Amino acid sequence: MTVRTDALPTQEMTINMGPQHPSTHGVLRVILTTDGEVVTRAVPDVGYLHRGLEKIGERVTYAQFMPFTDRLDYLAAMNCNCAWAWAVEKLAKIEVPERAEYLRVIVCELNRISSHLIAFGSYTADMGAFTPFLYAIRERERVNDLFEMLCGNRLTYNYARVGGVSGDAPPGFLEKTKEFLDYFEPKLDEYNNLISYNKIFVHRLANVAVIPAEEAVAYGLTGPNLRGSGVPFDLRKDEPYSVYPKFDFKVCVGTGERGTPGDCFDRYMVRINEMRESVRIVRQAVARIPDGPVMAKVPRLFKPPAGEAYFRSECPRGETGIYLISDGSVNPFRLKIRTGSFVAMNIFEKVTRGLMIADIVAVIGSLDIILPEIDR
Amino acid sequence: MGLKEYMNDIVEAVTTTAKGMRITARYGVDPKEEVTLQYPEERWEIPAGYRGFLNNDVKTCTACTMCVKVCPVDCISLESVRGADKKMVLASYDINIGRCMYCGLCVEVCPPKSLKHTSGYEMASVARGELILHFIAEDAAEIKARVARQVAEAAVKAEAAKAADLSSDLSSEAARAAKEEAAKGEPKK
Amino acid sequence: MEALARSLMNAVPLLAGVPLWAVTLLLIVAAAVVILVFALTFEGVGSLVLRKVAGDIQARIGPNRVGPNGILQFLADGVKLVLKEDIIPANADRLLFKLAPYFVFVGSFAAFVVVPFGVGLIAADLNIGIYYVMAVTSLVVVGVLLAGWASNNKWALLGGMRAAAQIVSYEIPVGMALIPAVLVAGSLSLQDIVRSQGGLLGIFGWNLFHNPFSFFSFFLYFTAAQAETNQTPFDLPEAESELVSGYNVEYSGIRFGLFFLAEFGDMFIVAALATACFLGGWNVPFFHAATLPWIWGNLLSLGVFLAKAFTMVLIMMWVRWTLPRLRVDQLMRMAWKYLVPLTFINLLGVSLWLLVFKGKGIPAMIASLFG
Ligand code: SF4
Ligand code: SF4
């Protein structure tokens, strides 16, 4: 959509959106330069939530860093937990019992569902429909109940351990998981009927902030943001880790079903469809989970050999890559975390040029950023 | 925009709105769909492995400091002194639960399993400094002084015994007096 | 009012010595107080119902702490709003900032005057009732714009600008969509419009069923009026998630309360106009309320009117909790590309219908077929 602004000479206005703003998903600050409602420039200003996680990681032991990964992306703490565990295991070449891997996949996919639920819910709330948000929260509570049963906490799980997971599934957990999946799957259709295909909603998202496939790749987008542009890249398939190759699932991509491929609606729809795929994965994992131990033998004073490792895994907000250098001591020598949201922020300024203020909110929501991941 | 598209737009807007409104109406009239938990009155069932406030059973705690070392945020502080029987005696064991992140690492490493999560999760205070759990009510300095006294007495006793051993030729009076004094000191503690 | 005062003076001998103007003034004040009380009560209860409905729809419970089942919540809210500190931002334009809420409140409250609550229950049966409502509710836009401007806040300014554009644009479809009712009744007075929908055809006497065009008119009016009064999905001037809170972002305490009350007042006005113009107003189906004794006839018709109006309010809330918000350009497109042409076509259709069928509606024609 083009808005003609050359007819009337007008003055530009600088507006400070955030760091306290209902729709910036945390403490993101966007400096908007607007011409009336039209945004001529939107510069994200990040860093309000910087806690120096990477530096902390260099001062604590490998095991001690696990609870900090909960804070890397608090909406998908399980995924971050497992990513850290996998990275350290890659560094130290630890074999993990299969049951532990299955449990990790189950919790990762459940967490992907709950994280996408928040993305979906807060997105609709940003668009002005508050009701789906509460439905999403309700479903997420169920996932949290499952996690609480499994590991004792509802938000910061600290479930994975280097070499396995902190505890086996308590009796009844797998049945409850199945129950949840049966309950949850029809809800997705309900969401689609309620809001996804609502005319206003479609109009708000379709053709807004189109990211062409080449551009998405060039900017290093990952996860649903990349797949929304039609690039079928999913680390679970393309660089399989853990037990993912054993499961049958589809990589969801944006098809431009209501507009141009790579618009906000595609990114939104990819998330909705991914929840369905996650349900499929969890179903298969629950059905096939083997018996056995859930923890490999890891010495209490864990010292990985000197060396380095980069491990990347598919988190709900894109690729979470963990780069570790070990000097053979109990602490990592260097830790660098690459997160999907941070990279997604790069393209923000480019795609928001010429949009309207309301679209800025739509773009932030469609990129599904989370601030702790950006600022770390 | 052709007329057909124009009409389509209108029809689609009306039908999708109606669809959405049917769903919200169903939720609106169905009382079974209410999921709110009226918190202080109603509570959810806390699962067995819940990671709530920490509790240390100070009687079984061996003051091994494993928990202190493993805690990533340094919120456990403990003071201990070596007792008369060479075992460590806890002088104080505090957990700053305002800082604790309930990660459970300390519970996992505790060798005698004296440190445990409880199912508690409610606590409020007006100042952060008040959010500290003291597991030993007695003042740390007092305990330390007491243990030091004990140690000293034990040392005196040992000394006396040694002295008695070495100089059995000395008057047995003195040795008995020393022993009596040591015995008197004992029940005071 | 003067006529009423005169008849009152005739009826009550005690008043015989009092000058006419005094009685009239007294009556005016009394009517204003009654209406104000009604408006405030409705607005309070409306806010409670809104939250309850939101709770039900969103699988929650809604307010339930103050009073049994939370029914006193609105009192608590009111007390809170009154007691809160009234903050005026340092760089605000103080006079305009203080003035703005009153414009908004007066704009919405003044419209209550011509709402036909019952057979004889109308504060002022103006012969230009509809016109008056349209005119006086336009005052709201002045207030909103002032609020946005005087707050010295960019979000508020954007909200005020949006409101101005939106309300002015939507005034046209709202007016156009109401005209069919005026045409059918042949009068601008709301009482006349309601009376024209009486008769013994039951609900088929309503303008809604008069002819296909008036049927559509009702929906067009309802949509456009929601936009004109900034209700979701057209609440762009407030747009919580975009403009934080829009034009009233800097307001607190009772001044915010006035905005808040005005919002509910607008809601009721829309519902009341829709009821009066299309849903038969206070007409009781198959029954002439006017034939009853004054008291009973009025009470009955008041009940019917409120029932209809509240149903409309409920529907508005239901819509509000279902739909997302439009974008500002889409809002304008909707007004100028969809609503305005459609309402014009409708108006044309109704006029032609009235011309061709000599003012008879479909139900009346069917009824005449059967004698
Ligand atoms: S639960 Fe974690 S943060 Fe709390 S005291 Fe134990 S180790 Fe420290
Ligand atoms: S690890 Fe257990 S036994 Fe050791 S000091 Fe801590 S609480 Fe006491």
> In the predicted model, what is the mean pLDDT of residues A56-63?
86
Asked which of C61, C83, C105 is the last residue of a domain, the reply is C83
Q: Measured between alpha carbons, how far is residue A37 from residues A4, A355, C151, C246, C326 in Å?
A: 12, 8, 18, 13, 14
Q: Which residue lies with its CA nearest to atom 1 of ligand 2?
A: B110
Chain A residue numbers with beta carbons less than 8 Å from the beta carbon of B104 are 152, 158, 166
> In the predicted model, what is the mean pLDDT of residues C84-109?
83
CB B117 within 8 A of CB B104: yes
Chain C residue numbers with beta carbons less than 8 Å from the beta carbon of A200 are 233, 323-326, 330
Expressed in angstroms, the distance from the first to the final Cα of chain A is: 36
Q: Give per-residue pLDDT as tens, C97-147.
A: 888 888 888 888 888 888 887 776 676 677 787 888 888 888 888 888 888
Measure in Å the smallest separation between the Cα of A361 and chain C Cα atoms.
7
Asked which of C83, C104, C126 is the last residue of a domain, the reply is C83
> Are both C281 and C335 inside the same structural domain?
yes
Reported ipTM: 0.80
Q: Quick one: pLDDT at residue B187? A: 46
Q: Give per-residue pLDDT as tens, C228-283.
A: 777 777 887 777 777 777 788 888 888 888 888 888 888 888 888 888 888 877 77
A2: confidence class by pLDDT, cuts 50, 70, 90: low
Beta carbon pairs, B and C, within 8 Å: 39
Give the CA angle between residues C107, C113, C114 to the nearest 5°: 110
> Are both C74 and C91 inside the same structural domain?
no
> Are both C184 and C128 inside the same structural domain?
yes
Kindly list the structural domains of chain B, giving each domain's residue range(s) and its CATH number in brackets, ordered by start: 46-180 (3.30.70.3270)
CB A119 within 8 A of CB A275: no
> In the predicted model, what is the mean pLDDT of residues B37-41?
83
CB A268 within 8 A of CB A252: no
Chain C residue numbers with beta carbons less than 8 Å from the beta carbon of B34 are 56, 59-61
Q: Which residue lies with its CA nearest to atom 4 of ligand 1?
A: B100
> Are both C199 and C325 inside the same structural domain?
yes
> In the predicted model, what is the mean pLDDT of residues B133-149?
80
CB atoms within 10 A of CB C16: 8
Q: Does B33 touch chain C (CB under 8 A)?
A: yes
CB C56 within 8 A of CB B29: yes
Measure in Å the smallest separation between the Cα of A1 and chain B Cα atoms.
15
B/e letters for B50-82, b = 16+ CB within 10 Å, e = fewer, are bbbbbbbebeebebbebbeebbbbebbebbbbe
Percent over 90 (pLDDT), chain C: 0
Q: Domain count of chain C? A: 2
Q: Give per-residue pLDDT as tens, C275-304.
A: 888 887 777 776 666 666 767 777 887 888
Q: Cα–Cα distance between A137 and A141 in angstroms, integer?
A: 6
Q: Give per-residue pLDDT as tens, A84-105.
A: 988 888 888 888 888 888 888 8
Domain extent at residue C54 = 1-83
> Are both C213 and C77 inside the same structural domain?
no
CB A30 within 8 A of CB A24: yes
Q: Is the pLDDT of residue A8 over 70?
A: no
Q: Where are the domains of chain A?
A: 50-339
> Are both C10 and C68 inside the same structural domain?
yes
Closest ligand to C-alpha of residue B75 is 1
* Strand order through the sheet with A38-45: A13-17, A29-35, A38-45
Average pLDDT over all residues of chain A:
86
> Are both C196 and C226 inside the same structural domain?
yes
> In the predicted model, what is the mean pLDDT of residues A256-266?
83
> In the predicted model, what is the mean pLDDT of residues A205-220?
86
In this structure, which amino acid lies at residue C192?
D
* Strand order through the sheet with A318-326: A307-315, A318-326, A332-338
From the CA of B70, give the closest atom in ligand 1: 7
**What does A15-70 look like in DSSP terms, one character per residue?**
EEE-SS-TTSTTT-EEEEEEETTEEEEEEEE--TT---HHHHHHHS-TTTTHHHHH
Q: Quick one: pLDDT at residue B189? A: 39
> Are both C94 and C51 inside the same structural domain?
no
> Are both C66 and C207 inside the same structural domain?
no
Q: How many residues does chain A have?
A: 376
> Are both C306 and C163 inside the same structural domain?
yes
Tokens of residue C62, six digits: 């809604």
Give residue A39's Cα distance to chain centre. 27
Q: Is the pLDDT of residue A130 over 60?
A: yes
> pTM score > 0.90 for this model?
no
Q: Give per-residue pLDDT as tens, B43-53.
A: 888 888 888 88
> In the predicted model, what is the mean pLDDT of residues C28-39?
79
**Which of C49, C51, C52, C61 has the most B C-beta neighbours within 10 Å, making it the best mutation to test the interface with B?**
C61
Measure in Å the smallest separation between the Cα of C198 and chain B Cα atoms.
30
Domain A50-339 adopts which CATH fold?
Cytochrome-c3 Hydrogenase; chain B (1.10.645)
